[in-house]
Amino acid sequence: MKDLLQVFGTHGFDKDEQEQNEMILELLDEICKKDIEPYAQEMDEIGCSFDVETGKVAYPPQTYKILKLLCENDLMGLAIPEKYDGIGLSFSLVNACYERISRADAGTSLLFGLQNSSSDVIEAFGKEEAKEYYLPKLAHGEKIGGLLFTEPGSGSDLGSLKTKAVDHGDHYIINGSKNFITNSGIADTFLFLASTDPEKGSRGLTAFILDSKDNPGFKISRLEEKLGLHSNATGEVILEDAVIPKSNVLGEIGKGFSVVLYELSAARIGIAAQSVGIADAAYRKAVNYVKTRKQFGKTIESFQVTQFKMADLFTKIHTARLAYIAAARMKDKKMDFAEYASIAKLYASEIAQEVTYEAIQMHGGYGYIREYDVERHYRDARITPIYEGTNEVQRIVISRAEMAKNYSQE
């Protein structure tokens, strides 16, 4: 990492932020090295479990310790403005942190990633009353963020969702169901999308903050068993007469789709950072392995095919990192970043597949064995071209933005 720091400054941060950001990254590196990475395999093995009787979700014990550490060190509210008890730093810093936690453990990184997504959207679209209530709690980790968008029948096509929010004067009553919900059992402050006017389709959607605490209409009904990200619970949520006060509406009634598009664009930069973190973890393990493993009387490293593969993989990781840094910088500078967020997510998530695949290949049979821990990165990487908009959706976003341009007249 030092080489990139020296050439660009840490992640291209502004000069006045540089010193403080480097101190924060060093602190986070310590936590990753001592408290996350050494437990990642164990957390993957233990996974998350669900008690049908009580509806409670249990995470691996280390998850709660990590969360406490991130909160105690003020790392959960890095980009929340100081006015709301946060540290008021940049989105670029948040994503540099996201990459580092993902390098240690991708499942754990989602606690950090969704905390930032939730607070960013509440700050951008929330009513002052909601900002004053939720942002300090998110900054201190007293509340944890999540996203309640996807439904069994509506994933890429969110405009077709069925969950309804009915106006009851000073609050809405919610009925419906959501699935594939990350941070289930820990999150209680969800960005939520429902229809307030079913006849209008995607123009009848409204975004809200759904607080699941003391909200008996909110129930986790099951957890999914999945390929990777075992240290994070992915749940199904049933909403039966759940209550949302009107002060928790995000943006305007009927304009929820644009709130969600903003969230998705910003979060795609985070998934790009996460993908780079996963790829880098697998790459580093491969570099270490090929230096020690000997076949035909030589280290694997000494074969030119290995050397060229390393050159290609590192070039791709570096390029993907620059792509997400560029998109994050654009967001910090209040530029239109959506297309560049999609480019970063598309590229980083695809190279994460290749890098984790090749890292296993370079380990030979040992790469397939749990003990060597590269297979965990391979499994974790597989989600990155799927969530926060599949890569087919990213291609739609990028191609639409490109086709709207008229280069010949410039």
Ligand X SMILES: Cc1cc2nc3c(=O)[nH]c(=O)nc-3n(C[C@H](O)[C@H](O)[C@H](O)COP(=O)(O)OP(=O)(O)OC[C@H]3O[C@@H](n4cnc5c(N)ncnc54)[C@H](O)[C@@H]3O)c2cc1C
Q: Determine how β-strand 235-245 pairs with β-strand 218-223.
A: antiparallel
Q: Residue 174 or residue 383: which is nearer to ligand X going by CB?
A: 383
Residue nearest to ligand X as judged by C-beta position:
155
Q: Residue 339 or residue 380: which is nearer to ligand X going by CB?
A: 380
**For 293-337, where are the alpha helices, taking DSSP H only?**
304-332
Among 140, 171, 226, 246, binds ligand X (CB under 6 A): 226
Among residues 251, 246, 238, which one has the least CA distance to residue 167?
246
User: Does residue 189 belong to the site contacting ligand X (CB under 6 A)?
Assistant: no
- Distance, in Å, from the CA atom of 152 to the CA atom of 162, rounded to the nearest integer, reads 10
Q: Residue 147 or residue 362: which is nearer to ligand X going by CB?
A: 147
Q: Which of 388, 392, 402, 410 is catalytic?
A: 388
What are phi and psi for residue 226, nearest 5 degrees?
-140, 170
Tell me, yes or no, if 199 is annotated catalytic. Answer: no
For the chain, the C-alpha Rg in angstroms (whole number) is: 21
CB of 379 to ligand X, least distance (A): 11
Among 116, 118, 119, 182, binds ligand X (CB under 6 A): 182
Contact 204, 254 (CB under 8 A): yes
CB of 246 to ligand X, least distance (A): 23
Q: Which residues pair with 208 in a beta bridge?
A: 192, 249
Q: Residue 126 or residue 235: which is nearer to ligand X going by CB?
A: 235
CB of 181 to ligand X, least distance (A): 5
- Distance, in Å, from the CA atom of 317 to the CA atom of 103, rounded to the nearest integer, reads 12
Q: How many CA atoms, within 13 angstroms, populate the side-chain half-sphere of residue 328?
A: 31
Q: Residue 207 or residue 330: which is nearer to ligand X going by CB?
A: 207
What are phi and psi for residue 75, nearest 5 degrees?
-90, -5
Compose the 140-159 pattern: x for residues touching ligand X by CB under 6 A, - for all others: ------xxxxx----xx---
Count of positions (residues) in the chain: 410
CB of 364 to ligand X, least distance (A): 29
Q: Give Cα 128 to chain centroid, integer Å.
A: 26
* Residue 363 Cα distances to 121, 305, 307, 373, 381, angstroms: 42, 14, 14, 10, 17
User: Does residue 181 belong to the site contacting ligand X (CB under 6 A)?
Assistant: yes
User: Does residue 241 belong to the site contacting ligand X (CB under 6 A)?
Assistant: no
Among 121, 229, 341, 348, binds ligand X (CB under 6 A): 229
The two three-digit tokens of residue 204, written as one number = 């009848």
CB of 57 to ligand X, least distance (A): 14
Q: Which residues pair with 274 in a beta bridge?
A: none
User: Does residue 238 belong to the site contacting ligand X (CB under 6 A)?
Assistant: no
Q: Residue 210 or residue 323: which is nearer to ligand X going by CB?
A: 210
User: Does residue 383 belong to the site contacting ligand X (CB under 6 A)?
Assistant: yes
Among 108, 189, 196, 234, binds ligand X (CB under 6 A): 234
Which residues are known to be catalytic?
388
Enumerate binding residues for ligand X (CB under 6 A). Answer: 146-150, 155-156, 180-182, 226, 229, 234, 383, 386-387, 389-390, 392-393
